[in-house]
Structure 1
Amino acid sequence: MALIALAADKGSPGVTTTALALAAVWPRRALLAETDPAGGDLVYRSRAAHGGMLDPNVGVLSLAAAARRGLAAEQLWEHAQPLAGGLDVLVGLGGSEQAAGLTGLWPVLGEVFSMLGQAPNGAADVIADCGRISGDSPSLGLFQHAALVLLVARTEAEHLARVRDRAGALSAKLHGSQRGAGALGYPPIGVLLVADPGQSARIAAQANEMLVASQISARVVGTVAHDPAGADMLTGRRRGRLDKSLLIRSARQIAADVPNRYGVFR
């Protein structure tokens, strides 16, 4: 089992929605971790299994306090809360002010996340929502322990250009400066495009051609359907057949493809 880190370069392309959807349909047990240093969103968007609000003080903040005293992977569950629907989540920070208290702890958390897959009790994959990243984002400390990094982007020209540049910079940071050697880099970097379903195949092919031409060690993994109604159903703000939504159907395809393509279950 593995740590899968999701992030974006700029704006709000839908990282949290994508991470939530993937975790909800992941083929094995999953723990969704909100690791955006700017703060988490689920405490405002989603309901706990008991029908009330999620506790903002139980999650990454309480986990970070425990990590200073040493932390075993199984202890992650002590800081997790179940969402309505059963998915376990580590609620994110309340804001960027709290991130200062986690200085130096991000690599520690990344290591513990990656070890949860081998935990004798309660093993699971961790899907980490890292939010927006830049060259000095503290959450980059997680990436060195990830089995796969997925960059989420929309399909407008400026967003594609930005994800290309971010993938290149991230590859240089994680894999070294050699270009065109993506197959050898670890962790691998993939791109998820949030797209209208009717245009997804064409845009994904164009984006892949752009990455290849730029000799960047990243490839488009798949497309997540731009589906506001499905996103509202996912967080409980709208009734409907969530399993039939375009969002969940596209997330299922990605969740099926990623383990086979990248071998993250080995």
Structure 2
Amino acid sequence: MALIALAADKGSPGVTTAAVALAAVWPRRVLLAETDPAGGDLVYRSTAAHGGPLNPNTGLLSIAATARRGLVPDQLWDHVQPLSGGLEVLVGLGIAEQAAGLASLWPTLGRSFASLADSPQAPADVIADCGRISGDTPAVELFPHAALVLLLSRTEPEALARVRDRAAHLSTRLHGGSRGAAALATPLIGVVLIDDPAGSGKLVNQVNDMLVHAQTGARVVGTLADDPAGADMLAGRKRGRLDKSLLVRSARKIAADLNQQYGAAWAVSAQAQQTQYPQAQQTRYPEAQQAQQAQAQQAQQVQYRQAQQGAHQQPQQGGHPQVQQGGYPQAQQGGYGYPQAQQAQQAGHPQAQQPHQGGPHQPQQGQSQPPYQPQQGHAEAGR
């Protein structure tokens, strides 16, 4: 379990759409955090579990006061709102000017996001939507605490050149000047291309060659479908079979590939974070923290390098790592998407209110429920 940060260099490749799609099909419990300093979009495009709008004042804005006094990872749940489809989100800022209130708190947030996976009460991965980044974007301070940084890019030549340069800059900033060892360093840097997955194999290989030649330490980890119709369904502007859309099908493959390739490395990376920043949790759960630290100290070096070396083998034909048939564990009831309410209740955290029986989004018995229910009549603030 881990913190996965999504970002883009320039343009609008659809970071928020990608983050929602990945969170919706993630195989474990996940918290989607809007951490774009320019402001979030979900409050404008999504409906809360109770059927009304999301509260823009509960989320990243409300967590600032708590974080100034120190932030225990489980306190994140006090600021989370469930969407109507069940996805749990930390709503982003309303406007860019509000980011000033988080000026010195980004590292604290990063540590809490990374440590949430090891919570004894309500563990979860965190997918952070960081939006567009530059050298002085404060959300970049989350990256040292992430297990994986995903850079999204369209496939025009200028976009690919920019993602190459951004990956090289991040590698230097996060891993130091030793670029040759960047492929074994943490956080890993991955690239997600926005294109047609069916015909992208040759392009993926070419982009990987470019990234290797530039010694970025990054590689392409998947291709997310450029699917406007699927994005409209995900945002609630259009009704249809979201689970059959190219967008969600490609997001499911990326999620499966990431968890298969990097799952072991993430577990060790989380232990390393606990060892490096023990103060974040020791005041509340000292026994669990001490056990995690001891385990990390004994296993970190050997396990981490073995996991990372396996994760960075050359991609299979078509540019994508091979996955086992079926790809990815299914939800207990939904047949698709993230784990259902009873799993989180067992973890000790109250769940989203489910839609009323007989409502427009209540699946019939035997049918699967999409991970992020499209809401009729809600517009998306386009990114």
Instruction: Give the paired residue count.
Output: 266
Matches within 5 A, 1:109-258: 109-258=109-258
- d(CA) in 1 for partners of 2:65, 2:129: 20
* Separation of aligned partners in 2, 1:4 and 1:215: 22
The structure in which a higher percent of residues are strand is 1
CA–CA distance in structure 2, aligned partners of residues 101 and 13 of structure 1? 28
- Partner SS, residue 217 of structure 1: coil
Runs of 4+ in structure 1 off by over 6 angstroms are none
TM-aligned CA deviation for residue 241 of structure 1: 0.8
Mapped to 1, the partners of 2:188 and 2:149 lie a distance apart of: 6
Secondary structure, counterpart of 2:129 in structure 1: strand
Indicate the structure (1 or 2) with the bigger Cα radius of gyration: 2
| Residue 107 of structure 1 pairs with residue 107 of structure 2 | yes
Alpha-carbon offset, residue 265 of structure 1: 4.2
| Matched residue, 2:42 | 42
Map of 1:97 onto structure 2: 97
Instruction: Name the SS for the 1:126 alignment partner.
Output: strand
Amino acid at match of 2:236: G
Where does the alignment leave 5 or more consecutive residues of structure 1 unmatched?
none
Does the residue aligned with 2:123 lie in a helix, a strand or coil?
Answer: coil
Distance in 2, matches of 1:209 and 1:11, equals 23
How far residue 49 of structure 1 moved from its aligned partner, in angstroms, is 1.6
Say which is worse superposed, 197-206 or 44-53, in terms of deviation: 197-206
Taking a change above 3 Å as real, the CA distance of residues 265 and 228 of structure 1, as seen in their structure-2 partners, is farther
SS in 1 for 2:180: coil
Aligned-pair distance for 1:142?
A: 0.5
For residue 179 of structure 2, give the secondary structure of its aligned residue in structure 1: coil
Q: CA deviation at 1:18?
A: 0.4
Matched AA of 2:87: L
SS at match of 2:145: coil
Partner of residue 23, structure 1: 23
Identity of aligned residues (%): 70
Deviates more, 1:192-201 or 1:153-162: 192-201
Structure 1 pair 265–25 and aligned structure 2 pair: CA distance change class (3 A)? farther
Unaligned runs of 5+ in 2: 269-383
Paired residues for 1:5-24 under 5 Å = 5-24=5-24
CA–CA separation in structure 1 for the residues paired with 2:227 and 2:249 = 11
Equivalent-residue separation in structure 1 for 2:244 and 2:253 (angstroms): 13
TM-score normalised by length of structure 2: 0.68
Is this contact kept in 2: 1:47–1:235, CA < 8 A? no
Distance in 1 between the 2:241 and 2:221 partners?
Answer: 26
SS at match of 2:200: helix
What is the distance in 2 between the residues matched to 1:245 and 1:184?
A: 35
Kept in 2, the 8 Å contact 1:259–1:265? The answer is no
Q: CA deviation at 1:71?
A: 1.6
Tell me how far 1:209 sits from its aligned partner.
1.2
TM-score, normalised relative to structure 1: 0.97
What is the rounded CA distance, in whole Å, between the counterparts of 2:260 and 2:41 in structure 1? 30
Shift of 1:196: 2.4
Q: Distance in 1 between matches of 2:260 and 2:207?
A: 21
Whichever residue aligns with residue 25 of structure 1, its letter is: V
Distance apart, 1:183 and its partner CA: 2.1
Within 2, Cα distance between the matches of 1:180 and 1:229? 41
